[in-house]
Structure formats: structure tokens, C-alpha cells
């Protein structure tokens, strides 16, 4: 399938640790979707599998209302069971070709890459997009390797599929990535912890990358 670069313009990655008392992930996500988020990744590291499948199914219905794909982090089996739009694979997760066999051609497969070699391997294996980071460090992943602006630009120039940057991205530093060739930014706390989530989304969307 052809994956449109515009879909990665503002990629929200869920993290329920940033939810305030009384907030639900679904309600918070709907607020972000209403404001204009273009892609969503459900990242659940420490919850029961059956709960994640159920949650993913509910969030998929919500994302469908806004015409936005729901990507599941790490787990092709959960993506398939929940009818999600696709899956994002880290470098230590299931092989991209195996994942494609499991999910079929209609699913989106994203892959993490930390250098040009990994990015080209992912593209050649059939990934639809590349996720690169951590461009500004990370508050959600311990020991996340730093990816320089220079290396990010090299990756973007080396592949023909779209690239999204991730890792410590805020409204204040996102513009430092302008000119690298990225299709968009993947954001966690700068969206989910924002006091005014609608304003946060709009500010990201108004930036030129």
C-alpha cells in the first residue's frame, strides 16, 4: 500500500501516565483528534493483553470517526485481533516480512531505525514508514539512544518512504527539525500532559517542518 506522508504530520503516542485524575485515555484522545492529530499509536507496556485488545478496538472506532489510523506498538497479534490500522515495530520486535505475512497488505507497518543502514533494511523489508529517535532524549524510554539532527537528515534522504521523528519533542524544539526532511513528529507528553490540548495540537500543526 502507499502510505501518505501527511498522515505522519502529528503522530500522537499514548502514555496513560500523563493522564490527570478523572481523565480517561479515550476522552483525552478524542480531544486531540478533534484538534487535528493525524495518526495515533497505542502504546501499552504494562497492561493485560485482553484489556489492550478491548481498548484498541474501542480506540479504533474512535479514530475511524476522525479518519485517523490507529497503530499498535510492538504487537502485530494485538493489531490483528483488534482490527487496528497497523503496527509499529522496534528493532528487536517481530521481523517486518513475518509481520506482513501475518497482517497482509492492507495493514500499515512502521519500523524504528537509528541509522541509515537500519532505515534502508526496514524499507527493503516492506515498512510503510520509519520512526527515528530519540531526537531530543526521551521521558518515556530509559536508555533511549540519541539521534542527531545530521543523522536524521541522512536517513530521510536515504529512504523513499516517509520518516517521523520521535523523542522529547515539544512545541518549543520541534522547529529545530525543520529542513531534515521528516514528514512529521511523534509526540507523547507534549500532547498528553498539555493543560490545553487543543492549543498544543494547533501549535504543532502551525509549525513548518
- Which pLDDT does position 3 carry in this prediction? 83
Q: Rounded to an integer, what distance in angstroms lies between the CA atom of residue 61 and that of residue 70?
A: 9
Cα–chain-centroid distance for residue 23? 22
Q: Give 144's pLDDT tier (boundaries 50, 70, 90).
A: low
The C-alpha angle with vertex 33 and arms to 174 and 179, in degrees rounded to 5, equals: 25
When comparing pLDDT for 45 and 116, which is higher? 116
> Looking at the predicted structure, is the pLDDT value of residue 107 above 90?
yes
Share of the chain above pLDDT 70, in %: 96
**DSSP string covering 149-166, please?**
HHHHHHHHHH-SS-EEEE
**DSSP string covering 60-76, please?**
HHHHHHTT--EEEES-H
* Neighbour tally for 160: CB within 10 Å: 5
> Tens of pLDDT along 61-94?
999 999 999 999 999 999 999 999 999 999 888 8
Mean pLDDT computed over 171-187: 97
- Which pLDDT does position 143 carry in this prediction? 60
- Which pLDDT does position 139 carry in this prediction? 62
Domain hosting residue 130, numbered range = 5-206
For the chain, the domain total comes to 1
Q: Rounded to an integer, what distance in angstroms lies between the CA atom of residue 208 and that of residue 123?
A: 26
- Which pLDDT does position 163 carry in this prediction? 98
Mean pLDDT computed over 25-54: 94
- What cell does 204 get? 504543532
Share of the chain above pLDDT 90, in %: 87
Residue 184 in contact with residue 164, Cβ under 8 Å?
yes
> Looking at the predicted structure, is the pLDDT value of residue 95 above 90?
yes
Average pLDDT value for the chain: 94
- What cell does 153 get? 537528515
Domain of 131, CATH number, reads 3.20.20.70
Question: If phi over 0 gives left and psi between -120 and 50 gives alpha, with beta otherwise, what is residue 83?
Answer: left
Q: Give 141's pLDDT tier (boundaries 50, 70, 90).
A: low
- What cell does 131 get? 520512526
Amino acid at each position: 500500500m502507499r502510505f501518505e506522508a501527511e498522515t505522519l504530520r502529528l503522530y500522537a503516542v499514548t502514555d496513560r501516565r500523563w493522564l490527570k485524575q478523572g481523565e480517561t485515555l479515550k476522552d483525552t484522545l478524542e480531544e486531540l483528534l478533534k484538534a487535528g492529530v493525524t495518526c495515533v499509536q497505542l502504546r501499552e507496556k504494562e497492561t493485560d493483553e485482553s484489556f489492550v485488545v478491548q481498548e484498541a478496538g474501542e480506540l479504533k472506532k474512535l479514530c475511524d470517526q476522525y479518519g485517523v489510523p490507529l497503530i499498535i506498538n510492538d504487537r502485530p497479534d494485538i493489531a490483528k485481533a483488534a482490527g487496528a490500522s497497523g503496527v509499529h515495530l522496534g528493532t528487536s520486535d517481530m521481523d517486518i516480512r513475518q509481520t506482513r505475512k501475518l497482517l497482509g497488505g492492507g495493514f500499515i507497518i512502521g519500523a524504528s531505525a537509528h541509522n541509515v543502514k537500519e532505515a534502508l533494511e526496514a524499507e527493503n523489508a516492506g515498512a510503510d514508514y520509519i520512526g527515528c529517535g530519540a531526537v531530543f532524549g526521551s521521558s518515556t524510554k530509559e536508555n533511549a539512544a540519541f539521534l542527531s539532527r545530521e543523522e536524521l537528515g541522512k536517513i530521510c534522504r536515504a529512504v523513499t518512504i516517509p520518516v517521523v521523528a520521535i523523542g522529547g519533542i515539544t512545541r518549543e524544539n520541534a522547529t529545530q527539525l525543520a529542513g531534515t526532511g521528516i514528514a512529521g513528529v511523534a509526540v507523547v507528553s507534549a500532547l498528553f500532559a498539555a493543560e490545553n490540548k487543543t492549543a498544543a495540537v494547533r501549535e504543532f500543526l502551525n509549525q513548518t517542518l
